[in-house]
Amino acid sequence: MRKKKITNYKQEALKNAIKFTMWLKQSFDIFSSRSKSSLWIKPLLMYYGMMSLLKAYLITIDEGYPKSVSVLRHGLSTKKRKKLNILDDSVKIQKDGLITQITQRLQIPFYPGLSFNIKDLFSSLPELQATYKTLYKEQTLIPLKIIQDENYIYISSQKEKKDAIEENEAYSELSKKPFLKNTKLFQNSYDIEKNNKIIHKLLAKDFQDANANLLIRLERSCKENVEAFLYNNPLILKTIKGEFMFWIGKSSLCFPTLEFLTYYMLFFYLSILCRYEISLWGELILLEATEESVFIKELITIAQRKFPNLILNLLTDKQFFFFLK
């Protein structure tokens, strides 16, 4: 496809500004109406609200969007015959569509045919980790504790019960990750410490736990290193309460996808259930004791608060978090 030549930049900018504003306005109205809508249709509404927000973001990084009708598609598909246990189901990336446009622009390696398991997607959301651990007796994310003195910021994970996490598992998992050692982003940006008695005393003093596991030490004077590790690190996610969690990945996902993509894929799937699998959807939202119903209701509660925040961070290229008390 030949690239469109722009001759009147002001006119094109005005057109895009109008599109941007309308998509934001539509998304705002959809998310604002969530409290008035029932669970029968809420995921469907939220999915289209997410689409509008993503389109607003996309036009800021691709001024020619949409270049064709094909890019207006969802970019996802799922099996027509739904499984009774939706956590065993999956969504698949398509050649064209909104999610494909965004991942290409952000240089995220999503390719047509790439499949994501629904349970794995749930496992990568930090706010759902407690429920995931309770239901499946395993963890994919562990909480991090962050303390600081005059010179350093210390990032550690507290040791849990023996049957939950091995003593040095978090440390060994972090040190094994190849991108931490090989990519330019993290070269010389961290200093792994282990069995350092002085630091462990400091940790014990602050955590009241002498068995805290030290993961990493960052110099406070190098602000870029701290921000790179905490905010640009695909293995560290932040909750709406301002807590950090570290991915140890006990699922088929090597890395968690970016959170806004995870929400988009999950709500695409739930919107399909709302529209085309009404009987199954009714069972899921009316039965209280199933694994699926627990995940779905928590997901909806968290997403309507967090997804707009994630897109705000993309639009501003900053890390804003409006914490819930």
Residues pairing with 219 in the sheet = 152
Residue 325 lies in a domain: no
Residue 118 and residue 203 in one domain: no
pTM: 0.80
Residue 41 and residue 184 in one domain: no
Task: Determine the 3-state secondary structure of 174 from DSSP.
Answer: helix
Domain residues for the domain of 179 are 141-245
Going by C-alpha positions, the residue among 321, 114, 182, 157 that lies closest to residue 248 is 157
The single residue listed with the structure tokens 């303390």 is: 147
The pLDDT assigned to 189 comes to 33
Residue 156 and residue 214 in one domain: yes
Pairing mode, strands 236-238 and 213-219: unpaired
Burial of 295 per CB tally in 10 Å (0-12, 13-18, 19+): buried
Give the whole-angstrom CA distance, residue 257 versus residue 48. Answer: 20
Residue 44 and residue 148 in one domain: no
Residue 324 lies in a domain: no
Residue 66 and residue 145 in one domain: no
The pLDDT assigned to 201 comes to 44
Going by C-alpha positions, the residue among 183, 168, 170, 124 that lies closest to residue 144 is 170
Going by C-alpha positions, the residue among 58, 69, 59, 52 that lies closest to residue 103 is 58
- The domain boundary residue, chosen from 214, 245, 276: 245
Residue 2 lies in a domain: no
pLDDT per residue rounded down to tens, the chain (325 residues): 445 555 677 888 899 999 999 999 999 999 988 778 888 999 999 999 999 999 999 999 998 888 888 888 899 999 876 666 888 899 999 999 999 999 999 888 888 899 999 999 999 999 999 999 988 888 888 888 887 777 777 777 754 544 333 433 443 444 344 333 322 323 333 333 333 343 344 444 444 444 445 567 777 777 666 666 777 777 888 898 888 888 887 666 667 789 999 999 999 999 999 999 998 899 888 876 688 888 899 999 999 989 999 999 899 888 777 655 5
The pLDDT assigned to 254 comes to 65
Structure tokens at 141: 């994310």
195: DSSP letter: S
Residue 135 lies in a domain: no
The pLDDT assigned to 57 comes to 95
Residue 93 lies in a domain: yes
- The domain boundary residue, chosen from 198, 224, 245: 245
Number of domains in the chain: 2
